[in-house]
Amino acid sequence: MATYVIGDVQGCYDALQRLLVHVNFNPADDQLWFCGDLIARGTDSLATLNFIKTLGDTAKCVLGNHDLHFLASYFGFGSIKPSDKLEQLQQAPNLEELVGWLLQLPLIHQSTDKKQWMVHAGLAPEWTLNEAEAAAAAVSKQLKHQPEQIFAIMYGDTPATWQQAHTEQQRWRFTINACTRMRFCQPDGALSLQEKGSPLKQSELVPWYEFWRNKTHPELFFGHWAALNGYSPVQDIHALDTGCVWGNTLTAYCIERQQRYSVAAAK
């Protein structure tokens, strides 16, 4: 049995299929973990979602910012851009079924023994592991039962710290921002959500994972940050978004073998 953690697919269905052939994926024995952003900007988000959904318990997924934005638009919040290439998905005959499936996905996934965690963007510097787990669970519970309440307050960059999140709605937004949008933080740990580039070009802001360098943490897998090209300098924190949708590669990490596998994006 092997567990493969896969970076942002973003509708790159062809690359995903070639990656699974490359690693000799066996659906009877192996498991796939997907780091979120299953859809948007790639050429076939509908086929990607349908395929992953049919894998059942073989696939474990977390929600990314693009997945949440699509869900918000379904409920009348936010708007989809033509560059997201989601028209086919929006018109799918099984759209309601796919939306219902996505709403069941968590923000954080953990292995049974909790030694491995997966999140789309990262864990807020202020959080303990227990706080991260509880905050993500609170959002997931709301998404399952009253998703409109989440999407009505989801957009916005504040509060920038967990300490400043005084209401339930503010805690939901902060949690979504940390788990699905965060890359950099201010030196004091406050989220800084607008900068998307490489840490090598940034002198004032601090990558979120640096705050976890000297904190006890599980082996942690994340996507979201294509500019890292799959590199994180912090031990046991693995960056897996290698920019497939931008023409680079799609990457999987095998937990048991501690080995990476990549395939080139479709030409």
Q: What pLDDT is attached to residue 266?
A: 83
Q: What pLDDT is attached to residue 236?
A: 98
Averages of pLDDT over runs of 10 residues in the chain (267 residues) are 97 98 97 98 97 98 98 96 96 98 98 97 98 98 98 98 98 98 98 94 92 96 97 98 97 98 92
Q: What pLDDT is attached to residue 267?
A: 73
Q: What pLDDT is attached to residue 31?
A: 98
Q: What pLDDT is attached to residue 118?
A: 98
The reply to whether the predicted model has a pTM over 0.95 is yes
| Separation CA 159–CA 262 (nearest Å) | 37
Q: What pLDDT is attached to residue 205?
A: 97
Q: What pLDDT is attached to residue 168?
A: 98
Q: What pLDDT is attached to residue 150?
A: 98
- Tell me the CATH number at 63: 3.60.21.10
The domain total for the chain is: 1
Domain of residue 204 covers: 3-264
Q: What pLDDT is attached to residue 138?
A: 98
